């Protein structure tokens, strides 16, 4: 999904908490979106790392601030976003990466050494129990139900409606 289509999708989905499926063709700046973009789920493919100034601060048509204010606001937003991200990633990037690496290593370890063997063990035990259960059913229940079926096989039921 192109960034132009995402911006159009964000404009027609004012509530970011609700994703909706577009079923009708959308018009954005006079151009039609492709069918694959029209029927995609809104906001699920949006790249939240690529926030543009126009996505955050959007003046509606008919209401515009002074050009100098708009340009200074744009510059302030862009520079502060750039440096804030740089500073935060320099301070917290390595510790957070270490934490995520540790977390995924623990999950992998538990999955490889505990979860999969436990599931395999349960499957092996359930196959053994399944064979014993099948043998018991075939030995005791099948003959009983066959005999009951033969006893009631000659019974005929007729329904009459009395007025």
Residues 6+ apart with CB under 8 A from 22: 9, 12, 38, 39, 40, 42
Whole-structure pTM value = 0.42
CA distance 5 to 19: 15
Q: According to the model, what pLDDT value does residue 11 have?
A: 45
Which of 49, 65, 76, 58 lies closest to 10 in space, CA to CA?
58
pLDDT for the residue 131? 92
Per-residue pLDDT 10s for the chain (163 aa) are: 444 444 444 444 444 433 344 444 444 444 444 544 444 444 444 555 677 777 777 777 777 778 888 889 889 988 998 999 999 999 999 999 999 999 999 999 999 999 999 999 999 999 989 999 999 999 999 999 999 999 999 888 888 888 7
In a domain, 27, yes or no: yes
Rounded CA gap, 105 and 111, in Å?
A: 10
What confidence score (pLDDT) does residue 31 get? 47
The number of folded domains in the chain is: 1
Q: Is residue 148 part of a domain?
A: no
Report pLDDT for 18.
Answer: 36
CA 60 to chain centre: 33
Give the domain extent around 14. 1-50
Domain assignment present for 141:
no
In a domain, 126, yes or no: no
Q: Answer yes or no: is 88 within a domain.
A: no
Q: Identify whether the C-beta of residue 24 lies closer than 8 Å to the C-beta of residue 8.
A: no
Is 63 within the bounds of a domain?
no
pLDDT at 117: 95
| Residue 8 half-sphere exposure toward CB, CA atoms < 13 A | 20
Report pLDDT for 51: 74
Note the pLDDT of residue 48.
55
* Residue 104 maps to a domain: no
The pLDDT of residue 20: 40
Q: Provide DSSP, 111-152.
A: IIIIIHHHHHHHHHHHHHHHHHHHHHIIIIIHHHHHHHHHHG
Domain-embedded: residue 7: yes
Chain-centroid distance, C-alpha 26: 24
């Amino acid at each position: 999904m192109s960034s132009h289509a995402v911006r159009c999708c964000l404009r027609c989905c004012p509530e970011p908490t609700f994703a909706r499926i577009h079923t009708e063709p959308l018009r954005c700046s006079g151009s039609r979106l492709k069918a694959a973009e029209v029927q995609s789920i809104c906001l699920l493919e949006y790249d939240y790392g690529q926030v543009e100034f126009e996505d955050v601060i959007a003046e509606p048509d008919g209401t515009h601030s002074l050009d100098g204010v708009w340009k200074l606001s744009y510059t302030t937003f862009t520079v502060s976003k750039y440096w804030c991200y740089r500073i935060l990633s320099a301070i917290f990037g390595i510790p957070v990466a270490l934490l995520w690496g540790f977390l995924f290593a623990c999950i992998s370890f538990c999955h490889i050494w505990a979860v999969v063997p436990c599931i395999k063990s349960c499957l092996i035990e359930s196959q053994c129990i399944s064979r014993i259960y099948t043998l018991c059913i075939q030995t005791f229940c099948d003959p009983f139900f066959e005999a009951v079926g033969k006893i009631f096989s000659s019974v005929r039921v007729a329904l009459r409606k009395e007025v």
